[in-house]
Amino acid sequence: MYGHQRAGLFPSNFPQFLASGDGALIRDVDGREFVDFLLGYGPMVLGYQNRVVEEAAQRQRELADCQNAPSARMVELAELMVDMVDHAQWAYFAKNGTDATTTALTIARAATGRAKILVERASYHGAAPWCTPGTAGISAADRANIRYFDYNDLPSLRAAFDEADDDLAGVIITPFKHNDGVDQELIDPAFARELRATCDRKGAVLILDDVRCGMRLEMGSSWANLDVQPDLSVWGKAISNGYPVSAILGRDSLRDAAATIFSTGTFWFAAVPMAAAIATIQELRAIDGVRLQRRAGDRLRAGLVAQAQAHGFDVSYTGPSQMPYLRFHDDPEHQLSFAFSAAALDNGVYLHPRHNWFVSTAHTDAVIDRALEGTDRAFATLAAKS
């Protein structure tokens, strides 16, 4: 197995193959059932087999999916997303997050005629050579035009701007720091404002990588509540509740640049995923999905923090409630995190030991309470061994 879904990255009791999902529950090929807080690494914002999304996908499937040209669903989805996101005047669709982030960089370079891109150190933006966390098969030339800064560190950001000098095409950044295995960190508004102002002054393109966070923190961009707007934003995961589609949204000033690049794929224009995305966005709006995710996440946070304290564990619980991450203090090698995830799985709860978690609108009070029963037993198992 390869990539981020190989079971070797998890404790040994985690399944390599899953059989089915329903709401917030998943089952492996051996028939074990778990409350899922990874959700396919984020896409299942409405839960598995959501009726509204699956019916929309099936209606389109009965017409056509992959054809010689896109269906009208492409226009409908573009209009829906542009209407939803304040900084957007056009949409450009792809298949997954790496497609979208890489296309956004290409647009920034086409618009500016420059090469260098600033990237937060250790941030994840996909699996292309310019950004993949693995280094096997990657040459120095693949990253020759990438410069790095530290999240919320203004001196580091200023130094990166200076290093790029007059060859700066753009900056790509996540809405908040959600790097693997470390505490999550919300954006400092002052950092975001200076980032925006410096991009304006230098004529660089500000790209917000909302692939992981989009439609979880806000229905508009995840910086909708900041007085900061990006020039481009990239979307994936939750926008289609598990169907393969991603998007780049941009300002009108970048429309011509987006039209000049050549970025495409055989399946990029498939209609079924776009129909699923339309249904997902409409359903999230209809049920106030962000509020439901936040409510479920708040319930999970309160329960886990209380359990950790009751069992004598010192933990950090960081990030938005919709996308939390629990880390044990004095656990630099993540041994306690792995032991806790293994014990939780034995008690019916699927938690990643290093990646942030996700909640969905399908995580009802009853589902959260069921999960907390399992995590309480997991904490007790850990305490008995320590």
For 298-338, what is each residue's pLDDT tens digit?
A: 999 999 999 999 999 999 999 999 999 999 999 999 999 99
Q: What is the pLDDT of residue 257?
A: 98
Q: Contact at 8 Å (CB) between 67 and 289?
A: no
Q: Contact at 8 Å (CB) between 123 and 146?
A: no
Torsions phi, psi for 70 (to 5 deg): -70, 160
Please write the tens of the pLDDT for every residue from 109-144.
Answer: 999 999 999 999 999 999 999 999 999 999 999 999
Residue type, 18: L
Same fold, 3-49+288-385 and 51-287: no
C-alpha 248/C-alpha 316 separation (Å) is: 34
Query: Under CATH, which number does the domain 3-49+288-385 receive?
Result: 3.90.1150.10
SS3 349: strand
- Whether 185 has a pLDDT exceeding 90, the answer reads yes
Interior angle at CA 222, CA 268 and CA 337, nearest 5: 90
Contacts of 136 (CB under 8 A, 6+ apart): none
Q: Where are the beta strands (DSSP E) in 45-134?
A: 90-94, 116-120
SS3 216: coil
Q: Which of 218, 238, 237, 323 is nearest to 280 (CA)?
A: 238
C-alpha 347/C-alpha 335 separation (Å) is: 19
Which letter does DSSP use for residue 315 in this model? E
Give Dmax (Cα) for the chain. 63
Q: Which of 169, 191, 40, 181 is nearest to 124 (CA)?
A: 181
Q: Hey, where are the domains in the chain?
A: 3-49+288-385, 51-287
- Whether 386 has a pLDDT exceeding 90, the answer reads no
Sign of CA dihedral 368, 374, 375, 377: positive
Residue type, 47: G
**In the chain, % of residues over pLDDT 70:** 100
Q: What is the pLDDT of residue 142?
A: 96
Interior angle at CA 175, CA 303 and CA 284, nearest 5: 65
C-alpha 351/C-alpha 343 separation (Å) is: 10
C-alpha 340/C-alpha 352 separation (Å) is: 10
Confidence grade of residue 203 (pLDDT, cut at 50, 70, 90): very high
Convert 307-319 to b/e letters by CB count within 10 Å (16 or more is b).
Answer: bbeebebebebbb
Note the CATH architecture for domain 51-287: 3-Layer(aba) Sandwich (3.40)
Q: Which of 133, 234, 130, 237 is nearest to 180 (CA)?
A: 133
Q: Which of 112, 124, 169, 127 is nearest to 146 (CA)?
A: 169
Contacts of 291 (CB under 8 A, 6+ apart): none
Torsions phi, psi for 238 (to 5 deg): -70, -10
C-alpha 109/C-alpha 262 separation (Å) is: 13
Contacts of 302 (CB under 8 A, 6+ apart): none
Considering only CA atoms, give the Rg of the chain. 21
DSSP 6-48: -GGGS-TTS-S-EEEEEBTEEEETT--EEEESSTTTTT-TT-B
The residue-averaged pLDDT of 25-43 equals 98
Please write the tens of the pLDDT for every residue from 241-264.
Answer: 999 999 999 999 999 999 999 999
Q: What is the pLDDT of residue 227?
A: 86
Confidence grade of residue 21 (pLDDT, cut at 50, 70, 90): very high
Sign of CA dihedral 44, 47, 52, 56: positive
The residue-averaged pLDDT of 85-105 equals 97
The residue-averaged pLDDT of 375-380 equals 98
Q: What is the pLDDT of residue 287?
A: 98
The mean of the pLDDT values for the chain is 97
Q: What share of the chain is helix, strand, coil (3-state, %, to 5)?
A: 40, 15, 40
Is the full-model pTM beyond 0.95?
A: yes
**Strand 232-235 vs strand 205-209: parallel, antiparallel, or unpaired?**
parallel
SS3 383: helix
